[in-house]
Amino acid sequence: MSRGQYGSLDLSTGEWNGMIRDLIDGDADVAIGALTEMSAREADIDFTIPWYRNQIKLLILHPSWSFEYPFSIVYPMHLTAWFTLLAGFIMVCALVALLGHFSPYEWRRRAERGEATEEESQTFKLHSRSTVLVTEDLVRFLFWFTLCIVFIYAFNLNSVFKFSKTAIRVKDTHDLLFQDIINFGAVRFSPSYDFYRYNEGQYRQVFDRMLNSDQNLLEDRLEDAVYRIRRQWDARYAIVGEERILQYAADRKPCRLFITGKTLGRIAFSMATPSGSPLRDQLSYAIRLLQERGEIDKILEMSFSDNLRCSGDSIWENETKKSFTIHDLQGLYYLLFIGMAGSAIIFVIEWLVNALLFGNGWQRRSAGRTQSRPTQNQAFVKSGQGKDDNRDWL
């Protein structure tokens, strides 16, 4: 390739470059390579019958190696919604504490524990019946409100947990276009790049989305695109390309890439000749003959550098393509550990405060309750003495 490209059209001048320019100028008789047959090219050159057909697919980071933001479990609701719930929780706790303070049943329990006098337990009343009704209504409201919030949160949580599995569910160009989690690109001037560029409909929309993105989604070489995918630990970048080329990249170590997408386009490679050249029919006949003999299939099945090939996915790697992994649930584990640590700290603080400030009072009340409560043997003796006294009186 004298100009380093298969051939692309300059829309401003209407001129071709690359191998197609060489064929038009007569500098070459045949162009052999991964040339995609398209109507825009057929207007200036001729193509033989396809010598290779395959599909365009998506190369992504394997879900086993993707790491989502640890606290992505907060994504189902906006930050303002979380702060609103926190403020409501604090207000409800304060209201419950206030109702408990004015409840006569609470003061009776305090008197039983020795934290209040008998006089306070008998005289402290403030509309006891209305207090109980308000408390019951508040608890009922909190139950249904919490149930609704949990349902709304859980309904949106599944999609958040499976951010890294979004590319797995891409089957065609429609799925690729109607998702906004993965940024997909291509290798500039590759066969897949030309396929989307010179097509119409959804194929052209794929090209426009890659080209008009705020991020630079196009790479100059396949090696650069593969390196970029491996470097994106959150698996938010992928490239579209011909399946066999992507398979070669995915089979190279380190084995962290995965090919998905059922059919993002069908692509065919042909040889090109100058328009009207008799070589087209001769080459078409030779290609058909080689296909019948199976020679082209043998060439396509040739492998290079088997020592660098991946051994294949294990059973656990196959399962993690669609199931939850430890990386998806790490936010829950962090919250669990934070809650346990917070509970332990609060327990230690309460114990120290009660031991330093109220330790003597607690010991006296505990001793008083122990002495005031008769043991089982004492109760039995008292009961027996009562019976003997009654018997003597009779």
List, for residues 117-139, the tens digit of each pLDDT value: 666 656 555 445 555 566 677 77
Cβ distance 188 to 218 under 8 Å? Answer: yes
Share of the chain above pLDDT 90, in %: 21
Of the pLDDT bands very low, low, confident and very high (cuts 50, 70, 90), residue 219 is: very high
* Pure H helices in the chain: 18-25, 39-42, 79-101, 104-113, 118-123, 128-161, 173-177, 191-197, 202-211, 222-231, 243-250, 279-293, 295-300, 315-319, 330-357, 359-372, 376-393
Are 213 and 272 members of one domain?
yes
N-terminal to C-terminal alpha carbon distance within the chain: 128
Residue 117 belongs to what domain range? 72-164
376, pLDDT greater than 50: no
Nearest 5°: CA angle at 11, between 41 and 187?
Answer: 70
Read off the CATH number of the domain in which 237 is found.
Answer: 3.40.190.10
Q: What is the pLDDT of residue 150?
A: 83
What is the DSSP secondary structure assignment for residue 182, as one 8-state letter? -
381, pLDDT greater than 80: no
Are 217 and 346 members of one domain?
no
Tell me the pTM: 0.66
> Is residue 45 included in any domain, yes or no?
yes
> Is residue 362 included in any domain, yes or no?
no
d(CA 106, CA 100): 6
Cβ distance 211 to 243 under 8 Å? Answer: no
Is 393 buried (19+), middle (13-18) or exposed (0-12) by CB count in 10 A? exposed
> Is residue 233 included in any domain, yes or no?
yes
Are 178 and 253 members of one domain?
yes
Q: What is the pLDDT of residue 317?
A: 58
When pLDDT is averaged across residues 77-83 and rounded to a whole number, the result is: 85
> Is residue 389 included in any domain, yes or no?
no
Are 217 and 289 members of one domain?
yes
Q: How many domains does the chain have?
A: 3
Are 171 and 156 members of one domain?
no
pLDDT 10s digits, 13-59 = 888 888 888 999 888 999 988 888 888 888 899 999 999 988 999 99
> Is residue 88 included in any domain, yes or no?
yes
Are 303 and 175 members of one domain?
yes
Domain boundary residue among 297, 320, 343?
A: 320
Closest by CA to 67, choosing from 318, 331, 337, is: 331
Q: What is the pLDDT of residue 130?
A: 56
Are 36 and 137 members of one domain?
no
Are 348 and 255 members of one domain?
no
Are 174 and 281 members of one domain?
yes
> Is residue 366 included in any domain, yes or no?
no
